[in-house]
């Protein structure tokens, strides 16, 4: 089973999403959280740090990352264990430095989030952001 990590960069109740290229095998042409496969010997946070640097050009502050949820996703014949994290602090300005992975990036408020690739991840993310407000 593949292990995948994704991260939600959140600032002022807005979430950074990437639009997955139409030619991606998994979840093509949808808005999703950035991330990717955990490599052998990597921790989830190590993989998240590497993936967000490779895809967005940012360096996350791992101490600001909180775990949102873990779930099995994808087709039954090739499932992936997906781990989602919320990140509130990073260095650098997010940019699409992996155009082969996604064709756009954008900031979205909770009320304008596009349909999710993973409903459980979206629910956990929205709940975490709303609980942080109070």
What is the secondary structure of 5-72 as a DSSP string?
A: EEEEEEETTEEEEEEE-TT-SSSTT-EE--EEEPPTT--HHHHHHHHHHHHH--EE-GGGEEEEEEEE
Q: Which residues pair with 82 in a beta bridge?
A: 4, 71
Domain residue spans of the chain: 2-133
| DSSP assignment letter at 73 | E
- Record: fold of 2-133: Nucleoside Triphosphate Pyrophosphohydrolase (3.90.79)
What are 33-91's pLDDT values in tens digits? 999 999 999 999 999 999 999 999 999 998 999 999 999 987 778 888 999 999 999 99
Does the reported pTM lie above 0.85?
yes
């Amino acid at each position: 089973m593949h292990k995948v990590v994704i991260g939600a960069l959140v600032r002022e109740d807005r979430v950074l999403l990437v639009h997955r290229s139409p030619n991606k095998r998994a979840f093509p042409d949808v808005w999703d959280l950035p991330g990717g496969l955990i490599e052998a010997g990597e921790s989830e946070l190590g993989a998240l740090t590497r993936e967000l640097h490779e895809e967005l050009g940012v360096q996350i502050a791992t101490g600001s990352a909180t775990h949102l949820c873990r779930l099995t996703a994808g087709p039954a014949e090739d499932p992936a264990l997906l781990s989602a994290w919320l990140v509130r602090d990073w260095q650098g300005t997010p940019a699409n430095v992996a155009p082969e992975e996604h064709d756009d990036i954008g900031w979205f408020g909770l009320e304008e989030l596009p349909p999710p690739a993973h409903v459980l991840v979206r629910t956990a993310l929205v709940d975490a952001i709303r609980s942080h407000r109070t």
